[in-house]
């Protein structure tokens, strides 16, 4: 069969031959709920193509507002056990599952009914925000992600199962790469088989920590690719008897895991984040500077979208990079930095990196908030302050929120986000985060359970 899709959730199915498959062949419809957890429904393949492609499957909306720890809705979210939504496959995203080739996987949209998007659909929110950027400024975003994760092995200690690092070698150590090479090679092969290009793999700072760098592409596809990348990494690790986790702090005494995003602005096939010539200050266009200025200005307000759990802030301590409000040229101590990809002319910047995103964030909401902040910068022609390209004097700088409580307080003040997210969705997100704060304040070790969820 041949699948054609236009990327807006309305893929067109052309059945070339009949869909007679074995009873054990499934299509998994994958979605990401508001707390950033990946979920799926498995549908027998024949029924999927005969019925579900047109009508979707029933899904309780309450599944979207469950918190990171509890399998029940967040009070005050505006969503409960009443009602039903439709989980509708976006056929433009369908892939053969690399580790289970008799099955397929596809990303799902949350609809009120077929053809009518729910206000709680993360992918629809992202499409809406990127459409505003396109309609108002004729701009699209290209995005590449750096995906950090730990590989853990199971041991029995005093009769109890524990998960510990597979290796204790330092950053970029060859021997650590050798330990994980069979798994990393299989991950790379699986990604390649579904059209996701990687630029490099390497050993990260933490014990048993690794990073996969994904090639940049149009942002809607890039976020879909990120979802599939995490699914593949977890599945391949599990196949080898290991556990892969993207939690921001697996071990409080070791390095945290992030999901750095590199973004650039494009117009008519040209990178317009980059200045037109080397004489421009900082090597960034006016559009690029205003877009970055909006993100820097609103960074505290959007932080809870990209660092959504209390444990996220253990990664953002004052001794770590990116915890103060400033930007820099190639300055990795900054939460926002202008960068140059290979081959960029001297004096010019081809993209910027936002370093605060972590693996517990719903990536559709995270990128939506970042782009919304950038749009506000473009609309108001905000001015980017001078960069800091040396070790900063922290006493002169504003600290980003130190906790989810502080981030949530900043979010409450961010009225500009209502246009992009809508009041119902913002209410649900705030309610979830309020519950997260309460849950973790009562159980300081609750974060240890998250390795099985993220």
Shared domain for 342 and 448, answered yes or no, is yes
Q: 120, 146, 177 — which closes off a domain?
A: 120
pLDDT tens, residue by residue, 218-260:
999 999 999 999 999 999 999 999 999 999 999 998 999 999 9
Count of all residues that appear for the chain in the document:
454
Shared domain for 6 and 103, answered yes or no, is yes
38 DSSP β-pair partners: 32
Per the prediction, the chain carries an average pLDDT of 90
Query: What is the C-alpha separation between 184 and 186, in angstroms, rounded?
Result: 5
pLDDT tens, residue by residue, 138-160:
999 999 999 999 999 999 998 88
- Retrieve residue 184's tokens: 């990393």
Shared domain for 269 and 380, answered yes or no, is yes
Shared domain for 286 and 352, answered yes or no, is yes
Shared domain for 141 and 38, answered yes or no, is no
Inter-residue contact 30 to 107 (CB < 8 Å): yes
Shared domain for 346 and 410, answered yes or no, is yes
Shared domain for 301 and 370, answered yes or no, is yes
Total domains in the chain come to 2
pLDDT value of residue 169:
83
Q: 101, 120, 139 — which closes off a domain?
A: 120
Shared domain for 208 and 346, answered yes or no, is yes
* HEC-encoded secondary structure of 266-330: EECCEECCECCCCCCHHHECHHHHHHHHHHHHHHHHHHHHHCCCHHHHHCCCCCCCCCECCEEEC
Angle 311-313-315 from CA coordinates, rounded to 5°: 90
Beta strands (DSSP E) in 167-207 are 198-203
pLDDT tens, residue by residue, 52-63:
999 999 999 999
CATH of the domain at 71: 3.10.20.70
pLDDT tens, residue by residue, 179-202:
889 999 999 999 999 999 999 998
pLDDT tens, residue by residue, 392-423:
777 788 999 999 999 999 999 999 999 999 99
Shared domain for 343 and 215, answered yes or no, is yes
CATH of the domain at 394: 3.30.590.10
pLDDT higher than 70, residue 6: no
Instruction: Kindly state the helix (H) or strand (E) to which residue 378 belongs, with its residue range.
Output: helix 363-380
Q: 120, 152, 172 — which closes off a domain?
A: 120
Instruction: Kindly state the helix (H) or strand (E) to which residue 122 belongs, with its residue range.
Output: helix 122-137
pLDDT value of residue 279:
65
Shared domain for 110 and 156, answered yes or no, is no
R_g over Cα of the chain = 22
- CB neighbourhood size of 162 (10 A): 11
300 is in which domain, residue-wise? Answer: 129-452
pLDDT band at 320 (very low <50, low <70, confident <90, very high): low
Shared domain for 178 and 133, answered yes or no, is yes
> Could you give the maximum distance between any two Cα atoms of the chain, in Å?
69
């Amino acid at each position: 069969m041949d699948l054609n899709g236009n990327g807006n959730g309305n893929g067109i199915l052309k059945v070339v031959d009949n869909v007679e498959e074995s009873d054990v062949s499934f299509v998994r419809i994958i979605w990401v709920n508001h707390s950033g957890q990946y979920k799926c429904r498995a549908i027998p393949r024949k029924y999927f193509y005969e019925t579900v492609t047109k009508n979707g499957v029933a899904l309780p909306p309450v599944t979207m507002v469950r918190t990171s720890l509890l399998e029940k809705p967040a009070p005050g979210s505006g969503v409960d056990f009443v009602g039903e939504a439709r989980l509708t496959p976006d056929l433009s995203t369908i892939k053969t599952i690399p580790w289970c080739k008799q099955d397929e996987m596809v990303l799902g949209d949350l609809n009120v009914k077929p053809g009518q998007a729910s206000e709680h659909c993360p992918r629809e929110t992202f499409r809406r925000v990127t459409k505003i950027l396109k309609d108002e400024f004729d701009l699209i975003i290209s995005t590449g992600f750096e995906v950090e994760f730990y590989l853990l092995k199971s041991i029995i200690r005093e009769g109890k199962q524990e998960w510990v690092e597979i290796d204790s070698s330092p950053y970029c150590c060859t021997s650590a790469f050798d330990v994980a090479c069979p798994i990393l090679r299989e991950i790379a092969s699986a990604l390649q088989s579904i059209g996701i290009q990687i630029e490099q793999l390497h050993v990260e700072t933490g014990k048993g920590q690794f990073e996969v760098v994904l090639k940049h592409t149009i942002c809607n596809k890039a976020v879909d690719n990120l979802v599939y990348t995490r699914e593949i990494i977890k599945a391949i690790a599990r196949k080898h008897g290991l556990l892969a986790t993207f939690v921001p702090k697996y071990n409080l005494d070791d390095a945290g895991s992030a999901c750095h995003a590199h973004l650039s602005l494009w117009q008519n096939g040209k990178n317009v984040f980059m200045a037109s010539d080397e004489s421009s200050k900082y090597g960034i266009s006016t559009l690029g500077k205003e877009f970055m200025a909006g993100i820097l200005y609103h960074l505290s307000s959007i932080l809870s979208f990209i660092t959504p759990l209390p444990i996220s802030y253990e990664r953002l301590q004052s001794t770590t990079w990116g915890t103060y409000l400033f930007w820099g040229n190639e300055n990795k101590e900054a939460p926002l930095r202008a960068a140059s990809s290979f081959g960029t002319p001297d004096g010019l910047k081809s993209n910027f990196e936002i370093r605060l995103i972590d693996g517990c964030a719903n990536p559709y909401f995270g990128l939506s908030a970042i782009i919304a902040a950038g749009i506000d910068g473009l609309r108001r022609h905000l001015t980017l302050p001078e960069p800091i390209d040396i070790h900063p004097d922290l006493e002169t700088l504003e600290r980003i929120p130190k906790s989810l409580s502080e981030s949530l307080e900043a979010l409450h003040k961010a009225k500009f986000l209502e246009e992009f997210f809508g009041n119902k969705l913002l209410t649900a997100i705030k309610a979830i985060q309020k519950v997260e704060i309460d849950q973790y304040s009562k159980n300081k070790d609750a974060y240890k359970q998250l390795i099985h969820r993220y």
